[in-house]
């Protein structure tokens, strides 16, 4: 039996990647071409400008434009005539032919989900177009303000600027992750000498002198006393090629949910390995966190990974030790969905600084011909497709009072889609409380007053009581809030280490970013072929380890702001955990409107 049994046939990449399980016919039905989408957006804007002040909701405008195939004159005439009829009460509302509940406020906002089938009479409302499963119950939308910045034009101006990327630092506890990142920041000039001397003095006073570099990242008293990272530590630095945000994740198994929160914000991952005697084996083969962290990173969308073989100085910079570790880890990574071209490896010592920011000149490391860690990060800079044009959505990772006024609440997070700028009206989901953006501050040091998808930012909000907001909520455009539901259909891949079959009724932790909710499977629809996504068994009694399935999930308590994986990959990905173990990765396939029981 292979010693790699745990990863045999497990390809998370194949099941959870992109839009693989939607046929060409379905894709053609569900979305507009780029050309048609541009024409649609232009038509919506034209109609909105023409009937400005009428009070007609944006969703009705979108639906009418789509129904009349972007004919703005017909859309305007229809909307104004319907408004006049409603005011005079001379005609009843047209009945919907959709099986879903229909209302004026229930018109579909996402145009790619609309379809028109067959001819209609001149009196028939475009509300009869195909509806999504979830009825829109949001309050009337506020009239958009005239904002200062034209974001689409400004995005074009960013073409020649350095890209911004986030990377998460993962690996088994005590692999030296925080020390390594402290060294990278210190040797890059991001930490002042005076600050470093202070850390050295204070760490020596409590008998932890070797932790001084780790204190660059580990800021809390508890982390410094225990010598372990507990929550995500964040910092930024800049090279000649990119602006980087570091997300230093905890390695202890008790803090895996915090690791998931950090990884969900990352574009790539650094998997740090302790190469000292027996340490690699303990973290990788004996129930350590190395495997779980790598599997979670791939399941949460990290496409590239750098294997950092740390502490190689403790084994005399052994080429054999380095090669054997890299071969075994690369084998595992390629079997959980990382392509071989997306895997890189670097030897180094975070404590001494060898091969971290500069190519090592040590004779003992002369066998290594590759890059330093910093150069490898620069070579990993990639073009990341961001959803700039969609309405704002940002998961809230932190909340605090900001500014000199107690009426200002500051929230921090990474924008998953869209853009934000001062004076913009926003909504907190699921509470549907509204607020106004006072200021936007980018965490990577950029002096822009506006931000777009992929930026890690802090936003000051006014007209909001901080009791109306909590970590894990989603900040949205006030005119386009996310749906909030308790039930959804999901495609899942169970992990090989799942010790029991997943049955209908089984409860677990559902984790998405900073959101950690109790949930359970209510129905198992089918078992899927992991290679093709095709149904291989309907209505199974359970889902075993290493299997793919379509299931229905219900979230306990209040509704959760959500979107499908097709609409937003970051917000549509989740991890299932039970009894301290990650048991499955899930992507949201469909939102379900149903009263919570």
pLDDT, tens digit, for every residue of 262-300? Answer: 999 899 999 999 999 999 998 887 677 899 999 999 999
pLDDT, tens digit, for every residue of 108-146? Answer: 333 233 233 333 333 334 443 333 444 444 455 555 567
What CATH code is carried by the domain that includes residue 436?
2.40.30.10
> Within 10 Å of residue 132's Cβ, how many Cβ atoms?
18
What CATH code is carried by the domain that includes residue 314?
3.40.50.300
Rounded Cα–Cα distance for residues 33 and 207 (Å): 63
User: Dihedrals φ, ψ of 504, to 5°?
Assistant: -60, 135
Say what the pLDDT of residue 35 is.
66
The C-alpha angle with vertex 513 and arms to 458 and 492, in degrees rounded to 5, equals: 155
In this prediction, residues 536-556 reach a mean pLDDT of 94
Domain assignment present for 329: yes
Task: Quickly state the pLDDT bin for 159 (edges 50, 70, 90).
Answer: low
Task: Quickly state the pLDDT bin for 63 (edges 50, 70, 90).
Answer: confident
Same-domain pairing of 325 and 427: no
In this prediction, residues 29-47 reach a mean pLDDT of 71
**Higher per-residue pLDDT: 219 or 434:** 434
Say what the pLDDT of residue 21 is.
35
- 32 has pLDDT over 70: no
Same-domain pairing of 504 and 526: yes
User: Dihedrals φ, ψ of 326, to 5°?
Assistant: -65, -40
**Higher per-residue pLDDT: 91 or 293:** 293
In this prediction, residues 62-70 reach a mean pLDDT of 73
- 107 has pLDDT over 90: no
**Higher per-residue pLDDT: 441 or 93:** 441
pLDDT, tens digit, for every residue of 383-412? Answer: 677 778 899 999 999 998 655 456 789 999
Query: 362-381 burial, b if ≥16 CB within 10 A, otherwise e?
Result: eeebeebeebbbbbbbeebb
For residue 351, cis peptide bond before it (omega within 30 degrees of 0): no
Rounded Cα–Cα distance for residues 174 and 272 (Å): 10
Same-domain pairing of 256 and 170: yes
Task: Quickly state the pLDDT bin for 67 (edges 50, 70, 90).
Answer: low
- For the residues of 196-238, what is the DSSP string, one character each? HHHHHHHHHHTT-GGGTTGGGT--SHHHHHHTS--S-EEEEEE
- Give the N- to C-terminal CA distance of the chain in Å, as an integer: 47
Tokens of 318: 């052994």
User: Dihedrals φ, ψ of 442, to 5°?
Assistant: -85, 135
Dihedral (Cα; 68, 69, 71, 74), 10-degree rounding: 0
Tokens of 288: 């350590």
Say what the pLDDT of residue 578 is.
93
Say what the pLDDT of residue 312 is.
97
Per the structure, the count of domains in the chain is: 4
Domain assignment present for 449: yes
With H, G, I as helix, E, B as strand and everything else as coil, classify residue 276.
coil
How do the residues of the chain divide into helix, strand and coil, expressed in percent and rounded to 5? 30, 25, 45
Query: 561-587 burial, b if ≥16 CB within 10 A, otherwise e?
Result: bbbbbbbbbbbbbbbbbbeeebbbbbb
**Rounded alpha-carbon distances, angstroms, from residue 201 to 173, 221, 222, 422, 546:** 25, 15, 18, 43, 50
The domain containing residue 398 runs over which residues? 386-477
Domain assignment present for 37: yes
Same-domain pairing of 348 and 494: no
Domain assignment present for 20: no
Q: How far is CA 249 from the centre of its chain?
A: 15
Domain assignment present for 137: no
Contact criterion met (CB below 8 Å) for 273 and 290: yes
Domain assignment present for 473: yes
pLDDT, tens digit, for every residue of 304-327? Answer: 999 999 999 999 999 999 999 999
Same-domain pairing of 457 and 393: yes
Q: How far is CA 35 from the centre of its chain?
A: 28
**Higher per-residue pLDDT: 66 or 394:** 394
Name residue, tokens 């109790």: 518
Same-domain pairing of 520 and 397: no
Tokens of 171: 């690996």
Same-domain pairing of 210 and 347: yes
Rounded Cα–Cα distance for residues 132 and 109 (Å): 9
- 595 has pLDDT over 70: no
pLDDT, tens digit, for every residue of 351-386? Answer: 999 999 999 999 999 999 999 999 999 998 876 777
- For the residues of 379-394, what is the DSSP string, one character each? HT--------SSPPEE
> Within 10 Å of residue 594's Cβ, how many Cβ atoms?
13
> Within 10 Å of residue 275's Cβ, how many Cβ atoms?
27
Same-domain pairing of 234 and 359: yes
Same-domain pairing of 456 and 375: no
- Of 438, 461, 477, the residue that ends a domain is 477
In this prediction, residues 402-431 reach a mean pLDDT of 85
Q: How far is CA 162 from the centre of its chain?
A: 22
Q: How far is CA 180 from the centre of its chain?
A: 25
Same-domain pairing of 372 and 390: no
Q: Per DSSP, what are the bridge partners of residue 494?
A: 584
- 257 has pLDDT over 50: yes
Same-domain pairing of 394 and 250: no
Selection from 193, 182, 185, 189 nearest residue 216 by Cα? 182
Q: Which stretch, 61-70, 150-159, 393-402, 577-586, has highest mean pLDDT?
A: 577-586
**Higher per-residue pLDDT: 70 or 567:** 567
**Higher per-residue pLDDT: 529 or 364:** 364
Averaged pLDDT of the chain: 81
Rounded Cα–Cα distance for residues 102 and 241 (Å): 51
In this prediction, residues 36-48 reach a mean pLDDT of 81
Say what the pLDDT of residue 426 is.
95
Say what the pLDDT of residue 324 is.
96
Rounded Cα–Cα distance for residues 517 and 470 (Å): 13
- 158 has pLDDT over 70: no
- Of 477, 507, 525, the residue that ends a domain is 477
Say what the pLDDT of residue 10 is.
41
Domain assignment present for 153: no
Domain assignment present for 586: yes
Selection from 592, 558, 575 nearest residue 509 by Cα? 575
- Of 458, 477, 496, the residue that ends a domain is 477
Same-domain pairing of 76 and 219: no
Rounded Cα–Cα distance for residues 379 and 170 (Å): 20
Residues contacting 245, CB < 8 A, separation 6+: 164, 165, 166, 167, 234, 235, 236, 443, 444, 456
DSSP 142: P
With H, G, I as helix, E, B as strand and everything else as coil, classify residue 274.
strand
Crossing angle, helix 289-299 and helix 319-335, to 10 degrees?
50
């Amino acid at each position: 039996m292979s010693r790699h049994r745990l990863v045999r046939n497990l390809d998370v990449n194949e099941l959870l990647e992109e839009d693989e399980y939607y046929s060409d016919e379905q894709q053609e039905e569900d979305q507009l071409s780029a050309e048609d989408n541009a024409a649609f957006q232009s038509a919506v804007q034209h109609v909105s400008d023409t009937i400005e002040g009428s009070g007609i909701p944006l969703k009705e405008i979108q639906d009418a434009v789509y129904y009349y195939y972007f004919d703005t004159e017909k859309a305007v005439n229809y909307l104004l005539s319907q408004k006049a009829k409603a005011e005079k009460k001379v005609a009843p509302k047209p009945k919907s032919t959709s099986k879903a509940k229909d209302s004026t406020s229930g018109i579909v906002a996402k145009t790619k989900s609309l379809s028109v089938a067959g001819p209609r009479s001149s009196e028939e409302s475009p509300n009869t177009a195909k509806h999504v499963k979830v009825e829109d119950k949001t309050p009337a939308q506020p009239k958009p303000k005239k904002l200062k910045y034209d974001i689409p034009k400004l995005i074009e101006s960013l073409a020649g600027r350095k890209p911004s990327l986030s990377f998460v630092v993962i690996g088994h506890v005590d692999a030296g992750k925080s020390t390594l990142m402290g060294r990278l920041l210190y040797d890059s000039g991001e930490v002042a000498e005076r600050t470093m001397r202070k850390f050295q003095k204070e760490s020596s006073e409590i008998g932890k002198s070797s932790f001084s570099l780790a204190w660059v990242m580990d800021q809390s008293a508890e982390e410094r006393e225990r010598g372990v990272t507990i929550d995500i530590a964040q910092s930024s630095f800049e090279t000649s090629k990119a602006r980087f945000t570091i997300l230093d994740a905890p390695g202890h198994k008790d803090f895996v949910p915090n690791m998931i929160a950090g990884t969900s914000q990352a574009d790539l991952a650094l998997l740090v390995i302790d190469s000292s005697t027996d340490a690699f084996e303990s973290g990788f083969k004996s129930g350590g966190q190395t495997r779980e962290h790598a599997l979670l990173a791939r399941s949460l969308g990290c496409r590239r990974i750098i294997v950092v073989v740390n502490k190689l100085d403790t084994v005399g910079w052994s080429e054999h030790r380095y090669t054997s570790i890299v071969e075994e880890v690369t084998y595992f990574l390629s079997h959980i969905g990382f392509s071989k071209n997306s895997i890189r490896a670097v030897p180094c010592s975070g404590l001494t600084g060898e091969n971290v920011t500069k190519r090592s000149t040590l004779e003992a490391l002369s066998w290594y011909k590759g890059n330093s860690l910093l150069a490898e990060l620069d070579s990993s800079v990639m073009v990341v497709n961001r959803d700039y044009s969609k309405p704002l959505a940002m998961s809230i990772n932190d909340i605090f009072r900001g500014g000199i006024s107690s009426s200002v609440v500051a929230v921090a997070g990474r924008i998953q889609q869209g853009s934000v700028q001062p004076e913009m009206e926003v909504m907190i989901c699921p509470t549907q409380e509204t607020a106004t953006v006072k200021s936007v501050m980018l965490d990577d040091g950029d002096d822009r007053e506006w931000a777009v998808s992929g930026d890690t930012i802090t936003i000051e909000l006014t007209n909001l009581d901080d009791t109306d907001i909590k970590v894990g909520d989603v900040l949205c455009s006030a005119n386009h809030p996310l749906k909030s539901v308790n039930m959804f259909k999901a495609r899942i891949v169970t992990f090989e280490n799942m010790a029991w079959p997943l049955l209908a009724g089984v409860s677990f932790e559902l984790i998405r970013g900073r959101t950690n909710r109790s949930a359970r499977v209510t129905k198992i629809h089918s078992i899927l072929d992991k290679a093709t996504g095709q149904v291989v068994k309907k209505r199974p009694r359970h889902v075993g380890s290493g299997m793919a399935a379509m299931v229905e999930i219900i979230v306990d308590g209040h509704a959760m702001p959500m979107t499908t994986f097709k609409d937003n990959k970051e917000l549509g990905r989740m991890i299932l955990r039970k009894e301290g173990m990650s048991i499955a990765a899930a992507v949201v396939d469909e939102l379900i409107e149903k009263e919570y029981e």
